[in-house]
């Protein structure tokens, strides 16, 4: 089979790195890459060539590859240039963009959506959402520190003692936990909130204080995502978060609901109550944001607070993000790739759940999630 690697049009990352190229070539597969595909990830063309890949232009990669892996889906206008019957692997998010399935089907393609891989123990090694979230959580704290007009750690100096910054993390999933760990390493006093009861032990193990609201809706079976809560719970949650936000120098928000807008956790009144110079980093900005006034890939100031909206901070750590993404793809393909090619066993939960279109036929069957 021939595997194609493209330069992402709006990302610094690249979906497949030279390490994986070597393994594909060792399995007797061909690999062709678009010139410059890894330039923004500190991966020069020569590294791909030394691994056994052939350099080409974008049109040739699209038209000659049997399998193309990208971080973000190809633009619709490019699909007509893709080889008939090719397999596309990307993050299609069919639960949010239902039309993508019909689009792929109309072009006679097969599509695997990496964000549909079950978030189970057996599939952890191929979970791109967790890999990228971990980097985003780390980068969120460093980004906040750059904009905060204060030190993070407590410092004792000849001129007096500087108190440590107070950091609040809303959402203690993969991104939140990495943010907690990074904030603690930098010397901040960290508190964290999450509706998921299972998060408490992990938060405490990292040395942060867990902010707990009684009466959360059971989140088991939610696949690591937050779940919708009752109005009574939201009221108690809002009151407690208001108190914590009003004292925080840094707020990192990570809460997302699959297929739905992100919950608003930090409203305008909370922003008004925050200290001047405080910073909010909103990692849920692409789905509406957890912070009022948040806009994806924009930095705005409201009521003396800097609001940084960016759900793709992992792109700012492009080299390691590419390495992890590529390893996730490698582990995914190992489930059904051999020297002979791809074997489709739809009884396998990983293959069955992630394949949204197969040879021009739509397989994704949960349209209710898009409502």
Helix (H, G, I), strand (E, B) or coil at 371: coil
Tokens (6 digits) for 337: 């790739």
Angle between helices 318-333 and 128-147 (to 10 degrees): 170
Strand bridging mode 87-90 / 250-253: unpaired
Radius of gyration in angstroms for the set of CA atoms belonging to the chain, rounded to a whole number: 22
Q: How many residues does the chain have?
A: 371
Question: Quick one: 220 exposed, middle or buried, by C-beta within 10 A (0-12, 13-18, 19+)?
Answer: exposed
Active site positions, annotated? 119, 124, 127, 130, 225
Which residue reads 């939201």 in tokens? 234
Tokens (6 digits) for 155: 């410092």
Whether the CA torsion 75, 87, 95, 222 is positive or negative: it is negative
Q: What residue spans of 209-317 are helical by DSSP H? A: 231-245, 268-273
In degrees, to the nearest 5, what angle opens at C-alpha 115 toward C-alphas 227 and 59?
A: 150
DSSP result, 108-174 = T-EEEEGGGS--SGGGGGG-HHHHHHHHHHHHHHHHHHHH-SS-SS-EEETTEEEPPPEEEEE--SH
Q: Tell me which long-range contacts 70-79 makes (C-beta under 8 A, separation of at least 24).
A: 70/6, 70/8, 70/15, 71/8, 71/11, 71/13, 71/14, 71/15, 71/325, 72/8, 72/9, 72/10, 72/11, 73/100, 74/6, 75/9, 76/103, 79/103, 79/104, 79/107, 79/109
């Amino acid at each position: 089979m021939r595997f194609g690697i493209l330069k992402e049009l709006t990302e610094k990352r690249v979906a497949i790195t030279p390490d994986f190229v070597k393994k594909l070539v060792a399995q007797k597969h061909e690999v062709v890459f678009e010139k410059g595909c890894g330039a923004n990830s500190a991966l020069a063309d020569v590294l791909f060539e030394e691994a056994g890949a052939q350099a080409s232009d974008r049109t040739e990669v699209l038209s000659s590859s049997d399998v193309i892996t990208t971080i973000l889906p190809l633009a619709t206008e490019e699909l007509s240039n893709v080889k008939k019957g090719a397999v596309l692997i990307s993050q299609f998010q069919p639960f949010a963009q239902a039309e993508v399935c019909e689009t792929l089907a109309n072009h006679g393609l097969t599509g695997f959506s990496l964000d549909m891989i079950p978030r189970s123990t057996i599939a952890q090694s191929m979970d791109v959402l967790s890999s990228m979230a971990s980097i985003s959580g780390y980068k969120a704290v460093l980004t906040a520190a750059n904009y905060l007009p204060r030190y993070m750690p407590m410092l004792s100096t000849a001129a007096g003692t500087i108190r440590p910054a107070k950091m609040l993390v809303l959402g203690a999933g993969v991104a939140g936990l990495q943010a907690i760990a990074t904030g603690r390493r930098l010397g901040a006093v960290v508190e964290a909130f999450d509706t998921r009861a299972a998060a408490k032990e992990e938060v405490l193990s990292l040395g942060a204080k867990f902010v707990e609201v009684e009466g959360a809706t059971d989140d088991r079976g939610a696949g690591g995502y937050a779940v919708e809560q009752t109005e009574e719970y939201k009221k108690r949650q809002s009151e407690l978060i208001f108190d914590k936000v009003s004292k925080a120098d840094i707020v990192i928000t990570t809460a997302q609901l699959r297929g739905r807008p992100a919950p608003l956790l930090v409203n305008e009144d909370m922003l008004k109550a925050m200290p001047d110079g405080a910073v909010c980093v909103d990692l849920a900005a692409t789905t509406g944001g957890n912070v009022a006034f948040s806009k994806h890939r924009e930095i705005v100031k409201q009521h003396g607070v800097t609001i940084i909206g960016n759900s793709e901070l992992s792109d700012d750590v492009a080299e390691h993000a590419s390495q992890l993404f590529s390893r996730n793809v490698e582990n995914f393909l190992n489930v059904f790739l051999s020297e002979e090619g791809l074997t489709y066993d739809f009884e396998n939960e990983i293959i069955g759940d992630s394949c949204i279109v197969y040879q021009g036929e739509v397989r994704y069957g949960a349209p209710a999630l898009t409502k």
